């Protein structure tokens, strides 16, 4: 069992879906932290030790890419894998996420198997 995951999405239902997919994929965490936008995500991250971040791109306030850029530029959460979980799947958006420092990219809707294939290698590294 891993320690802590941070799920950042403006939809409370989607945060539950991501958590359920992690669980079904066999990825159990002692603690689950949630944030409704990038600003809240950064605050949670500053106050907690996290092993994985699952983050939406499209959110009000600070979006996921802005949060990721802020994290990487300020050294917040250095080394923590960040998986973008989003409806946006254009090659340009994927490149933008990777350039910002994303460790992985999962397109909604997704299956627990897709989550497992993306996340397990990141946690093993």
Summarised one tens digit per residue, pLDDT across range 39-50 is 999 999 999 999
pLDDT one-digit tens code per residue, 77-88: 989 999 999 998
pLDDT at position 107 is 93
pLDDT value at 2 more than 90: no
Q: Which two tokens stand for residue 102?
A: 């994303």
Q: Sheet holding 29-35: strands in order across? A: 29-35, 2-8, 52-55, 82-86, 104-107
All domains in the chain, ordered by first residue: 2-124 (3.40.50.2300)
Res 36: pLDDT: 98
| pLDDT of 68 | 96
């Amino acid at each position: 069992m891993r320690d802590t995951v941070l799920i950042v999405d403006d939809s409370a239902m989607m945060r539950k879906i991501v958590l359920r997919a992690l669980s079904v994929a066999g990825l159990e965490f002692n603690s689950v932290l949630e944030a409704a936008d990038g600003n809240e995500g950064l605050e949670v991250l500053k106050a907690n030790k996290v092993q994985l971040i699952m983050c939406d791109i499209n959110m009000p306030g600070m979006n996921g890419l802005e949060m990721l850029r802020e994290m990487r530029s300020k050294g917040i959460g250095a080394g923590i894998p960040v998986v973008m979980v989003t409806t946006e799947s254009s090659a340009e958006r994927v490149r933008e996420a990777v350039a910002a420092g994303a460790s992985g990219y999962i397109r909604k809707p997704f299956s627990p198997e897709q989550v497992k294939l993306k996340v397990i290698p990141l946690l093993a590294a």
